[in-house]
Structure 1
Amino acid sequence: MPLEYDDETNSEEWYGEDVATFGDRLAAAREAAGLKRIEFAKRLGVKKATISDWEDDLSEPRANRLQMMAGLLNVSVGWLLTGEGDGVDAPDESLDGDDPGLVALLADIRDVRGRIKSDLDRLARVEKALRKRLIENE
């Protein structure tokens, strides 16, 4: 059975910090604005490869470019960085047709991404505690 979300929850499920990357949000906002990578690159004054690197999370823009892109895409800088604030709506899951299997797979993907994020946060805390103990034992 497909999960039911209101629009705000659905957007958080898709673009929240725990399930989407900066690149995911940038690509979604660019597509929602109806811009191809090359068009977006020209408007920002960068190469198409730079946009690709940002969307693929291989690099990050400088603050001045971040502000420019948020303005061009009509989203907030905060939304691009964290998924919170003014951004784009989540994809319409009804576009998946009547196949509840596809909707369930999307829900599973979001669940797994959330668990991975949680595990990474836990790993960082454990590593920090270990480093602290190692320093204390020197």
Structure 2
Amino acid sequence: MTETTEHWFDPDATTFGDRITGARERAGMTQSDLAKRLGVKLKTLKGWEDDLSEPRANKLSMMAGLLNVSLLWLLSGEGEGPDAPSTGDLSPDISGMLTEMRDIRTRLVTSTDRLARLEKTLRAKLKEEAGE
């Protein structure tokens, strides 16, 4: 499997929280560093990275600037994001594992979307048969 660095944050496979975490790590910041610079509690930043909550527009804009990524990239994964991690220093085994993990994650997201669509369709059919 060949690794591509052009779209290392696949918009279809990463969440908003994943993008914050990845950009923060690429910027060399800890969660505490970013929380302080944004003027928020560490718990708040952790909630964003864990996809439990989302920042307000002003914090989102500040975060994009601090992490040197576009606002569009943070929100959707498209546009100007962080540089891809260098895999030149990693052994081929580790690089291969990272690539495989990204591939599995992409497949999981796709399968989850399919499952959600099937569940929605099933609920509609059950409701229809029940005469509601």
TM-score normalised according to structure 2 size: 0.84
Query: Which whole-Å CA distance do the structure 2 matches of 1:106 and 1:72 have between them?
Result: 26
Deviates more, 1:75-84 or 1:56-65: 56-65
Deviations along 1:55-90, one digit per CA (max 9) or x if unpaired, are 233332233321221122221122112211111011
The answer for the alignment partner of 1:35 in structure 2 is 29
- Percentage of pairs with the same residue: 54
1:15 shift after superposition: 1.1
Asked if 1:118 is matched to 2:110, the reply is: yes
Match for residue 122 of structure 2 among 121, 125, 130 = 130
What secondary structure is seen at the aligned counterpart in 2 of 1:93?
Answer: coil
The answer for the alignment partner of 2:13 in structure 1 is 19
The answer for the alignment partner of 1:88 in structure 2 is 82
The answer for the alignment partner of 2:55 in structure 1 is 61
Consecutive unaligned residues in structure 2, runs of 5 or more: none
The answer for the alignment partner of 2:2 in structure 1 is 3
What secondary structure is seen at the aligned counterpart in 1 of 2:2?
Answer: coil
**Aligned-partner residue type, residue 56 of structure 1:** D
The change in CA–CA distance for 1:27 and 1:82 in structure 2 (over 3 A counts) is same
What secondary structure is seen at the aligned counterpart in 1 of 2:45?
Answer: helix
Query: Which whole-Å CA distance do the structure 1 matches of 2:116 and 2:22 have between them?
Result: 29
* Dislocated runs of 4+, deviation >4 Å: none
TM-score normalised according to structure 1 size: 0.81
**1:70-109 equivalence runs, <5 A:** 70-96=64-90, 99-109=91-101
The change in CA–CA distance for 1:66 and 1:24 in structure 2 (over 3 A counts) is same
Is the Cα contact below 8 Å between 1:79 and 1:86 reproduced in 2?
A: yes
Query: Which whole-Å CA distance do the structure 1 matches of 2:99 and 2:68 have between them?
Result: 27
The change in CA–CA distance for 1:47 and 1:83 in structure 2 (over 3 A counts) is same
Deviations along 1:2-41, one digit per CA (max 9) or x if unpaired, are 6243x42xxx2x3112332222211222233333322321
**Aligned-partner residue type, residue 35 of structure 2:** A
